[in-house]
Amino acid sequence: MDGMLAIEGGLRSPNGDLYNEAPDRLADTVILAGIGMASGTEWARNLGWLAACGALSTAWTRSHGASLLDRHDFRGPMAKPHRMVLATGLCLVLSVLDGRGGGAAALVWGLGAMNAGIAVTLIRRLRGISRDLRAKATTSAESSTP
């Protein structure tokens, strides 16, 4: 949200992208791995770490695409805002269900859904970036033809 507000408010700085990305990637890892750890089950721990790695992969794909195309691809369905909404919901569910014994199962299902969404997000971003790179190459070839 901070980076988006800076861009929209005209407060962008030369170091903005750097200092927007680095803390977000650390937060992704700590939050998603931490949710998996909170359940106390091996399944959820593994799914939490997988989600953390997937979050880093979606960010890398977006960032690398931007370096090639000069624009970011924020498509989802499990981009950062979506992951954080789901993570917040999982924490709330855990706070309600953990005393009743259903929290661990809810985390496994929630993290499983998050990982599935991350996989779809990666596929969509890679396909979109690939399509845009091919279009860019075609446009460049056509404009250089006499």
- What domains does the chain contain, in order, with CATH numbers? 2-144 (1.20.120.1760)
The owner of tokens 């075609």 is: 138
Count Cβ atoms below 10 Å from residue 100 Cβ, excluding itself. Answer: 7
At 69-103, the pLDDT tens digits run 999 899 999 999 999 999 999 999 988 887 777 78
What is the structure's pLDDT at 2? Answer: 59
Cα dihedral sign, 26-76-54-59: negative
Question: Would you give the distance in Å from CA 100 to the centre of its chain?
Answer: 31
Contact 25, 59 (CB under 8 A): yes
On the question of pLDDT at 11 being above 90, the answer is: no
- Determine the residue type at 24: D
User: Could you tell me the pLDDT band of residue 1, with boundaries at 50, 70 and 90?
Assistant: low
Q: Which of 35-44, 67-76, 94-103, 111-120 is predicted most confidently? A: 111-120
Q: What is the pLDDT of residue 143?
A: 79
The per-residue pLDDT for 109 is 94
Tell me if the pTM is above 0.85.
yes
- Give the pLDDT of residue 8: 66
Direct distance between the N- and C-terminal alpha carbons of the chain, in angstroms, rounded to an integer: 46
User: Contact, 11 vs 71, CB < 8 A?
Assistant: no
Q: How remote is the C-alpha of 20 from its chain's centroid? A: 14
Q: How far is CA 143 from the centre of its chain?
A: 36
- Give which of 107, 125, 120 is closest to 33, Cα–Cα: 107
pLDDT, position 39: 82
Q: What's the pLDDT at 75?
A: 94
Separation CA 111–CA 115 (nearest Å): 6
Specify the higher pLDDT residue, 8 or 130.
130
Greater confidence (44 vs 7) lies with: 44
